[in-house]
Structures are given as C-alpha cells and as structure tokens.
Chains A and B, each alone.
Chain A
Amino acid sequence: KQEVTQIPAALSVPEGENLVLNCSFTDSAIYNLQWFRQDPGKGLTSLLLIQSSQREQTSGRLNASLDKSSGRSTLYIAASQPGDSATYLCAVGTSGSRLTFGEGTQLTVNP
C-alpha cells in the first residue's frame, strides 16, 4: 500500500527566503507525482506534474525534483513571498489512476 509522507508539517519563514519542502513515498512503482497548493477553504491548484520518466520540472519560482528509486521528491520555492502562504500537497499517481496524497506542509511566509 502506497504511503506518502511530507516533512515538515508546518514551516514559517521570512519573506525572500528560499525553501525546500520534502515528500517521500513507499512504493516506487508510480506513474507520476504532482505538487498542489491548497488555500484555506478552497480547492487544489496543480503546481507541477513530474512524469515517472522525468527528474524535475520548473515553473517560475518553483522547481520540483523526483528521485523514484529513493522514493523522494522536493519542491523548491525561490524568493518566497507572503502570497505563497498555503498548504502544499504532494500526491503520487499509482495504479488505477488514483492519487495518493501526503498530509501536506502548511507554509507561512511572513512579510
């Protein structure tokens, strides 16, 4: 059974800092890995999708890496801004097209 763990559970940083969010998964037989952002009381916004054959994806200030063999992914956020404050969710795509989610990292960027 696939299990996804995200560390840390919460993170508070000053504006402008670069930061890394971590995600690990127990079963390396994945199709893809997605990072999402969830704002309080809102839905999920897809940030980056990494296919199993890829090592990383970049979008603006975000960079996500994938090491399938070790069961790890990281989301790097450069020059953080208060508007980046949200919960970040890591999800792995496995058999049957389901996504298995981690419990998220709650990020607060202080002005």
Chain B
Amino acid sequence: NAGVMQNPRHLVRRRGQEARLRCSPVKGHSHVYWYRQLPEEGLKFMVYLQKENIIDESGMPKERFSAEFPKEGPSILRIQQVVRGDSAAYFCASSPPGGKQETQYFGPGTRLLVL
C-alpha cells in the first residue's frame, strides 16, 4: 500500500504567483488534513476535509488560501499571490473513516520557497 503522497516535493515561486500543492491520501482514507511548518516552528493545523466537504478550516489564513478534496483526484491546497512569509513546509495527512480515534498518516511534505 502506498502511503500519503505529496507533490511537488519542492516548489519555488516568485512573489505574486500561485502555488498549488497536491496530496493523495492512503487508499481507502476519506479524511485529509493540511498542516504548515514555518521555519523553526512547530506544525500548525490548517484545514480538515472529507470528500467534497470542508469540515474545519479554522487554521487557514483568511485570505489567499483555499483547499479542496474533490470526489475524484487528490486534495489541493492553493495559495494565491504568494508572499515570502508563505515559505514553509506543508504537510498533508490522511486517516481512515474512523476519524477522531485513528492515527493520522503523514506525507513527506512540500517545501515551498517564495523568492
């Protein structure tokens, strides 16, 4: 079984461009989470999604950030008009339908660098 896959692993963008980060959960997992790790900081929750639904987006910045988990295909975290402060590692995790009681499995992360 493949684990959580994220691509790209590294992404370089100039200020003002868009960044699209993709996450394919473990096969059979219906819950996806996105976390951000800023340099020298811990991981912070951003958003929790199930297929076609955003369950909790309380950790998402109010502007420029959006996330989706369509019926088919990977989950996408989209950052519009990137700024230098968006430079971070973005991790995706997935869990099976049991939800709260289940282990979250993390992907290798996408490291975003904004020039």
Q: Mark B82-115, 1 if CB is under 8 A from A, else 0.
A: 0000000001010100011101111111010000
Interface residue total, chain A, C-beta cutoff 8 A: 24
A72, B91: Cα distance in complex, Å: 26
Say yes or no: is A49 at the interface (Cβ < 8 Å to chain B): yes
A19, B28: Cα distance in complex, Å: 37
B interface vs A, CB < 8 Å? 31, 33, 35, 41-45, 48, 55-56, 58-59, 91, 93, 95, 99-101, 103-109, 111
Asked if B105 and A46 sit within 8 Å, CB to CB, the answer is: yes
Asked if A46 and B108 sit within 8 Å, CB to CB, the answer is: no
Asked if B45 and A99 sit within 8 Å, CB to CB, the answer is: yes
State which residues 84-111 of A face B: CB under 8 Å.
Answer: 89, 91, 93, 96-104
- Nearest neighbor of A90 in chain B, beta-carbon distance: B42
A interface vs B, CB < 8 Å? 31-32, 34, 36, 41-46, 49, 51, 89, 91, 93, 96-104
CB < 8 Å neighbour of B106 from A32, A46, A49, A104: A46
**Nearest Cβ on chain B to A99's Cβ, whole angstroms:** 6
